[in-house]
Amino acid sequence: MFDKILIANRGEIALRVHRACREMGIRTVAVHSEADANAMHVRLADESVCIGPPPAGKSYLNIPAIITAAEVTGAQAVHPGYGFLSENARFAEIVEAHGLAFIGPTADHIRMMGDKITAKKAVMDAGIPVVPGSEGGVATYEDAKPIAEEIGYPVLIKAASGGGGRGMKVAETADKLKEAMQTASAEASAAFGDGTVYLEKYLGQPRHIEIQVLADTHGNVVHLGERDCSLQRRHQKLLEEAPSPALSDAERAEIGEVVRKAISAIGYRGVGTIEFLWENGEFYFIEMNTRLQVEHPVTEMITGIDLVREQIRVAAGLPLEITQDDIQLEGWAIECRINAENPKTFAPSPGKVTEFHAPGGLGVRLDSALYAGYSIPPYYDSLIGKLIVHGRTREETLLRLRRALEEMVVSGVETTIPIFLDLLEEADFVNGDYHIRWLEEWLAQRNG
């Protein structure tokens, strides 16, 4: 096992990784920008290294500075967290070329899943159901037209290098196809330097359901059930829950087994998430994430498995201690992403936190690097904490969520806490009756 790990991230996820390391007897090296010298992840780590000025491009994305920090501190492994360099195949390669372990999948698997076309082909060949569409990229309108006719309109044009909703265009009818392709391709070229696009049948009101997997380097793979992440605004998730209110135990077991076999066939290692759209009882693969995700705690709460500990263990070459039969899903968990943002406009609200009180009690977890007196810098994303509640049933979890939200105090900056209190009053949410468009429709109504 490693005895020192460098955590190449900041905020709550840097702290989350530190906590797992501490419990495993592993020392931690924090890296930080000049803006984060007083951050909690720096204070708690055994050692820290300043890696550059405030903008992420000069610090948290500064590969030479991070590698140097690992070398001078004698770290043996690098945990990338989420965001920043976590899905950068080149970074994974550079880490390993310096004799360090990358706590994540191989660079080849990151690259395979980073290209949405190669990802779709790989999982389809491994038996995962995908959205009907083109087999690979479509270069011209002439190539696309017969494919669109066959799958039926509306169709969605997606960028091969996209993800997170960037570079997507809907074509409602045949006469819109040419222009939609040109716009999507031009946007993709500008954003990713790759104008390759592909076609899919457009699904109107699906749910976003993702399956968590965990794989070691000895051929063992388990799935840890699903998370329902349908409640999103502009491709930013606000609330996630596990299990999904939409799935039966039989549906869960069936898709879980399909995914488990596929991930084994692909030879994947580490944690990963297979994202699906789910409509009318059918799963359609859209993307695979090759990192630990923001919403991983809801899975931890219902399985009792520490996903960061498992990531570290498999990166050190250890075999999984559990098999699929050992995994029991217990109760219900909901996560609210608490951002320092105006709750109506979502405008960022950085600044000094004058008061802070964390909610607690049975079944309440707060993953946050916040403290009273901390100044939230304006340079990074506005997530200041994740409130995760766990209960025996969804009803109990919703009651506990309200109670915990009411207990939480953050003064000095605006937060998204009021949104969740309002959401708990909404019948569709309480009934679990929502899809990927629901939240934006609800917010539009609410804000008049």
Q: Mark whether 291 is an active-site residue.
A: yes
For ligand MV4, give the closer residue by CB, 164 or 373: 164
Least distance (Å) from ligand MV4 to the CB of residue 240? Answer: 11
Figure out which of the listed residues 59, 86, 106, 232 binds ligand MV4, where binding follows CB under 6 A. 232
Give the tokens for residue 442.
Answer: 């609800």
Site for ligand MV4 in 24-63 (CB under 6 A): none
For strand 155-159 and strand 207-215, is the pairing parallel, antiparallel, or unpaired? unpaired
The least distance separating ligand MV4 from the CB of residue 372, rounded to whole angstroms, comes to 35
Task: Find out whether 83 and 289 touch, Cβ atoms under 8 Å.
Answer: no
Within residues 183-222, the interface with ligand MV4 by CB under 6 A covers 200-203, 208
Largest CA distance in the chain: 62
Q: Residues near 193 by Cβ (< 8 Å), separated by ≥ 6?
A: 161
Examine residue 335 and tell whether it contacts ligand MV4 (CB under 6 A): no
Q: Are 105 and 268 in contact, with CB atoms under 8 Å apart?
A: yes
Q: Nearest CA to 24 among 322, 313, 270, 320?
A: 313
Omega of the bond leading into 243 within 30 degrees of 0 (cis): yes
According to the binding rule CB under 6 A, does residue 286 interact with ligand MV4? yes
> Of 83, 102, 86, whose CA–CA distance to 94 is shortest?
102
Look up residue 30 and give its two tokens: 């924090």
Stretch that binds ligand MV4, among 59-67, 143-151, 162-170, 306-314 (CB under 6 A): 162-170
In the complex, the smallest distance separating the C-beta of residue 158 from ligand MV4, rounded to whole angstroms, is 7
Among 64, 152, 165, 378, binds ligand MV4 (CB under 6 A): 165
Question: Judged by CB under 6 A, which stretch of 61-69, 77-85, 161-169, 333-341 contacts ligand MV4?
Answer: 161-169
Distance, CA of 352 to CA of 375 (rounded, Å): 4
Residue 275 corresponds to which tokens in the numbers above? Answer: 């994202």
Q: Which is nearer to ligand MV4, 57 or 152 (CB)?
A: 152
* Catalytic position from the list 16, 291, 313, 394: 291
What phi and psi, each to the nearest 5 degrees, are found at residue 215?
-135, 145
The one segment of 158-166, 180-188, 215-223, 378-386 that binds ligand MV4 by CB under 6 A: 158-166
If one asks whether residue 152 binds ligand MV4 (CB under 6 A), the answer comes out as: no
The phi, psi pair for 408, rounded to 5°, reads -75, 135
Among 115, 216, 287, 335, binds ligand MV4 (CB under 6 A): 287
Q: Which residues bind ligand MV4 (CB under 6 A)?
A: 131, 156, 163-165, 200-203, 208, 232, 235, 277, 286-287, 436
Residues annotated as part of the active site = 291
